[in-house]
Amino acid sequence: MERQPLVSVIMPCYNMERFLPQTIASVVQQTFEDWELIIVDDASTDGTVEVLQRAGEQDRRIHWTAKTEHSGIADTRNRCLQTAKGRFLAFLDADDLWYPEKLQRQLQFMEEHGSCFSYTSYRLIDEEGNDLDKTVRVSGNLDYNAYLRNTIIGCSTVMIDREAVGEVKVPSFRTSEDTATWLDILKKGFVAHAFDEPLTAYRVRRQSASSNKMKASYDLWKVYRNHEKLPFFKALYCFCHYAFNAVKKRL
């Protein structure tokens, strides 16, 4: 019987030929080696598939598929989740990077704190991979109501023990699908534990979906109102706190 990996790394991608080799390398170079990397390509039009073919040939822990029709980030991430075999899920966007001890340090943290959901601090890099000398620090633990007011959790920093939290499914939103996912988990009564160690590099890109702040903010508003069914004034209260914390995070 085939032994299952402890950690499944979830990576959707679309037109990431430029960044994907470095991102994949940051997984391959992890000091913790008991992982599988699940990549689903969302019908890219650049050379992404060729990059995936080479990566799969070089490391048997890398498993990838390519869709024939573009369907968006939520569906693509869910397809990754459907084939993941590990007890722990670690999320990594295809343009971000992990530092070599990311998986090892975060697993140790979760074991020490009895955590089933953790997230970490992260560094900012530019499109060329240059460090921007800025660390987004996290502190304290977040329950459902706290996270509604402060969407501090960076997707590429998250690790989840699905043996504890159960099935993880991504709701269909263009830019806030990760926020809606974490809210679905926290709504069950779980707590996200903050690990204040920068183990991920978040790439700041001009053309990314999340770089359009107006659209991202509108998408988050739809999460509050349509997904969480918050009353208007509670949604407005949470949104104002989100906006304040988003500005503070970037200062």
Per residue in 113-135, pLDDT tens? 999 999 999 999 999 999 999 99
pLDDT tens per residue across span 37-86: 999 999 999 999 999 999 999 999 999 999 999 999 999 999 999 999 99
Q: Are 116 and 164 in contact (CB under 8 A)?
A: yes
By percentage, how much of the chain surpasses pLDDT 70? Answer: 94
- Fold for 7-208, please state it: Spore Coat Polysaccharide Biosynthesis Protein SpsA; Chain A (3.90.550)
Mean local confidence (pLDDT), 151-174:
93
pTM: 0.92
Does residue 188 surpass a pLDDT of 90? yes
| Distance from the Cα of residue 207 to its chain's centroid | 18
Can you tell me the mean pLDDT for 104-121?
A: 98
Tokens of 41: 């390509």
DSSP per-residue letters across 91-117: E--TT-EE-TTHHHHHHHHHHHHT-SE
Where residue 4 falls (left for φ over 0; alpha for ψ -120 to 50; beta otherwise) is: beta
CA distances from 3 to 8, 30, 35, 85, 214 (A): 13, 19, 11, 10, 46
